[in-house]
Structure 1
Amino acid sequence: MIRRTILTGAAAAALFAGSLGAASAQDTLLLGAAAPQTGPLAGGATVTHWPAVRLWVQQTNAAGGLQVGDQQMTIELVEYDDQTNPQQAIQAAQRMATQDEVDFMVAPYSTGLNLAAAPIFAQLGYPMITGTAVTDQQPALAAQFPNMFFVLGRTSVMAQDTAQLLVDMRERGELGDRVALVNVADAFGIEMAGISKAILEENGFEIVYETSYPLGTQDLAPVIDGARAAEADAFIAWSYPGDTFALTDQAIVQNFAPQVFFTAVATAFPAYQERFGDQIEGVLGMGGVNADDPAFQEFAQAHMEMAGQAPDYWASAATYAALEILGQAIEGAGTTDRAEVLAYLQDRSHEYETILGPVNFNENNDNERYWTVGQWQDGVFRGVASQGRDGVAEVEAFDGWN
């Protein structure tokens, strides 16, 4: 599917006219985006990816566009559905570059699709700033693909911070040693589970139940059956949206309420709270934000007004921040020449102001300031662990499915 989006109408014309000022010309910048609109990850992309991308385009155009040298450039968005299929993601990138001739491309949604598309982004010479990929391969990927930049964080750090929360709870007498560890069987889940298992065992936890399941699995009752039968004190699932919901649903149905219940991607979705209500108070998951930060609150309000839904409490803001970084790099370089924009991004002296706070990249093209673990508290998913971010909340006890 292809879709083009650009702010139009009298209101836009008035905004642009007022902002052009001394600019000698106005032009259009083509921005390509391919991500799931169908397939197993469509639900996640519908929450996290597409609204953030469209909102950034809308707000940038409403502000007059990007100031690129002496040109004021509005943005036209070209969209494709990659069908949650790595080959389709690659083909969409090729088409956007060679047929649509887009100036820049948005990185795909999810770790797996980003890893699949990384070679074609590099081959075509497009900067790739991803707000939805978490992997410990970042140093190796950045060495292989110097055009690739990461905003969301590293798997090992997220696994370490998750394990540290468990260690702290155990030291306070709030948690035993028995852990059930499960994962979705794709690039993200396999990597996270492997790293997590090693860290947990190093810290004296016993893995009493361990399994994986294919992406898109509908019936996860056997997974909860196994964890419950193993009498796990903590349940940790490196899951994607569909399974995050299904695992929680099954845990409630079977009244499996360990001292720690942790699910990964989509735990931070507002729809998760809407689905399960107050029952999820104390549930832990990946990511988080400083929900009290005025910048995030302003973003959330604009997101609701534009998309009719709230952003998630993690990667929505990271996706928006990735585009803020791209826009600032284009303006900083003063050109749409991709090689020059990439050189600007690779200059480590540059810092980018985003809704997450300041972002800068180290020698591995890795942002070192990010959220790692969050928890549902009083109807809000608050960050309870981070690397270099302000507003970390204290962890609260999970009292079961009330």
Structure 2
Amino acid sequence: MAETQRRLSGITGGVPLDRRRFLRVLGSAGGLAAAGGLASACGGLQESGGSGGADVIRIGYVSPETGPLAPFGEADQFVITAIGEYFAQNPIQVGGTSYPVEIIKRDSQSDSNRAADVAADLIGNAGIHLMLVSSTPDTSNPVSDQCEANGMPCVSTVTPWQPWYFGRGATEGTRFNWTFNFFWGLEDVEAVFADMWDQVPTNKTAGALWPNDPDGLAWGNPQTGFPPAQAQRGYSIVDPGNYPNGTQDFSAQIAQFQAENAEILLGVPIPPDFTTFWRQAAQQGYQPRIATVAKALLFPSSVEALGDLGVNLGTEVWWSPTHPFTSSLTGQNAGALADAYTASTGRQWTQPIGFAHALFEVAAAAFSSVEAIDDREGLAQAISQLRLDTVVGPLDWTAGPVPNVAKTPVVGGQWRTGTDTPYDLVIVSNTQNPNIPTAGTVEPLR
């Protein structure tokens, strides 16, 4: 019981780094763990149940709790604790038998190599039956790749489907055997941002901040990313080129945006990098009329770090307390789930709450569709056919847009000075999803 609680709270440590890397090599070699070879290689582990037997459903969960992507994982411990308490009272029924659930949390530390390492350890050492992973391609892609190589069912989220799908080497029609994703796509956020831009008079020139990471490469792709999509809408993109994460001087980008009079700012930087950019932009006299910045501006903490410079900055909104959806597990609607987070933590709601919760909705539905908890093929098949109404909206893996992907809605918001909090995220664009209510209209930065 003590070990179960220790894992549930996410404190369990990993194996030494050299061993994790050893496991990672085994995993990339093509499914050794799934075939049971890892058991003999690493000391008698069972094929599916690990060292703890097959009497407990073990779910691995990987996300960034520390490092520059830490805001994405801020709500994970709340969700895992709440879901753990729910499963303690409501065990999952598999093949007519009730099973307790153990959630084994690992921190990717915002590092792709670390994400792959801890995924290999969960598969090879922890005896998990299903992997869940969240938050940006930097985490979701390496974890998904480990699961695909090792025959481990895996569900990822908070990663746009193009970087997850094409970024892992897929082509049109490719079907992964073990890995699945639910989130929106670039086509959706392109439409949301364009609708926000259309509401502010500009010269239709957007300066782009594209980091040299999977998101930045996908969003800035000249054939399949933002440039061709927004060109069709009459907008042009000023692209200074991809910059490395952790850049400390954005003077070159700012100078180019000023020289080409980019009245719109667009990008998908990590939170610390946008804070650096936006402060330097203010110091150097660059102020666009509207800014729609993905990733960096999703979280209250990121905007609060900007002080007064955060007013009316825009971003995509994929979940909020006013989203009209309800959990298939707990029956909580989005507002109740957000309120529970604030009551438990004392912090303002944040978008990943709903998607972390929805991962466990998918997990429970998948296990309920098979006859044995170690039926990996059955779990993968169940997810591939799953249709489920969740707290982030309806999921349908039979609908596409490509195999292994289910889409979720996205709208647009701006940060406004709050009453009880420093900033509130106000939904201002719902053209793509009118069932999600707005609470204001787009306001220019100047």
Give the CA deviation at 1:296: 1.7
- Partner residue in 2 for 1:169: 199
2:334 maps to a residue whose letter is F
Report SS of the residue matched to 2:348: coil
Tell whether 2:377 aligns with 1:344. Answer: no
CA distances 1:311-355 after superposition (whole Å, capped 9, x unpaired):
423x332232122112222123354222212211122xx421211
- Residue 354 of structure 2, aligned match among 302, 317, 325: 317
- Residue 5 of structure 1, aligned match among 5, 8, 15: 8
2:425 maps to a residue whose letter is F
Tell whether 2:239 aligns with 1:239. Answer: no
Report SS of the residue matched to 1:210: coil
Give the CA deviation at 1:277: 5.4
- Partner residue in 1 for 2:113: 87
Higher strand residue share:
1
CA distances 1:39-95 after superposition (whole Å, capped 9, x unpaired):
432x233325x3365245334335433233333333222232333332322222221
1:196 maps to a residue whose letter is F
Tell whether 2:444 aligns with 1:398. Answer: yes
- Residue 371 of structure 1, aligned match among 403, 410, 426: 410
1:154 maps to a residue whose letter is G
- Partner residue in 2 for 1:131: 157
Instruction: Write the mapping of 1:248-287 to structure 2, written as runs, cut at 5 A.
Output: 248-276=278-306, 279-287=309-317
Over the aligned positions, Cα root-mean-square deviation in angstroms equals 3.0
Give the CA deviation at 1:184: 1.2
Give the Cα separation in 1 of the matches to 2:180 and 2:413. Answer: 23
Question: Mind listing any 5+ residue stretches in structure 1 that lack a counterpart?
Answer: 8-25
2:206 maps to a residue whose letter is V
Give the Cα separation in 2 of the matches to 1:389 and 1:331. Answer: 33
Give the Cα separation in 2 of the matches to 1:85 and 1:346. Answer: 28
- Residue 212 of structure 2, aligned match among 182, 185, 196: 185
- Residue 213 of structure 1, aligned match among 201, 222, 243: 243
1:376 maps to a residue whose letter is W
**Contact in 2 for aligned 1:151/1:370 (Cα 8 Å):** no
Give the CA deviation at 1:153: 1.1
**Contact in 1 for aligned 2:68/2:270 (Cα 8 Å):** no
Tell whether 2:191 aligns with 1:145. Answer: no
For structure 1, which segment, 50-59 or 358-367, has the greater mean C-alpha deviation from structure 2 after superposition?
50-59
Instruction: Write the mapping of 1:95-106 to structure 2, written as runs, cut at 5 A.
Output: 95-106=121-132
> Percent sequence identity over matched residues?
19
TM-score, normalization: structure 2? Answer: 0.74
- Partner residue in 2 for 1:115: 141
1:398 maps to a residue whose letter is P
- Partner residue in 2 for 1:358: 394
Give the Cα separation in 1 of the matches to 2:417 and 2:323. Answer: 17
- Partner residue in 1 for 2:327: none
For structure 1, which segment, 138-147 or 255-264, has the greater mean C-alpha deviation from structure 2 after superposition?
138-147
Give the Cα separation in 2 of the matches to 1:311 and 1:328. Answer: 26
Give the Cα separation in 1 of the matches to 2:182 and 2:135. Answer: 13
Give the Cα separation in 2 of the matches to 1:71 and 1:205. Answer: 57
CA distances 1:205-234 after superposition (whole Å, capped 9, x unpaired):
233453321112234354334423432111
Kindly tell me: are residues 222 and 210 of structure 1, through their superposed partners in 2, closer, same or farther at Cα, counting changes over 3 Å?
A: closer
Moved over 6 A (4+): none
2:71 maps to a residue whose letter is G
Give the Cα separation in 2 of the matches to 1:255 and 1:385. Answer: 32
Tell whether 2:72 aligns with 1:35. Answer: no
Give the Cα separation in 1 of the matches to 2:82 and 2:249. Answer: 37
Give the Cα separation in 1 of the matches to 2:431 and 2:268. Answer: 18
Question: Mind listing any 5+ residue stretches in structure 2 that lack a counterpart?
Answer: 11-53, 325-332, 419-423
Give the Cα separation in 2 of the matches to 1:247 and 1:218. Answer: 8
**Contact in 2 for aligned 1:178/1:233 (Cα 8 Å):** yes
TM-score, normalization: structure 1? Answer: 0.81
Instruction: Write the mapping of 1:36-75 to structure 2, written as runs, cut at 5 A.
Output: 36-41=64-69, 43-47=70-74, 50-51=76-77, 53-55=79-81, 57-75=83-101
**Contact in 2 for aligned 1:180/1:209 (Cα 8 Å):** yes
2:180 maps to a residue whose letter is F
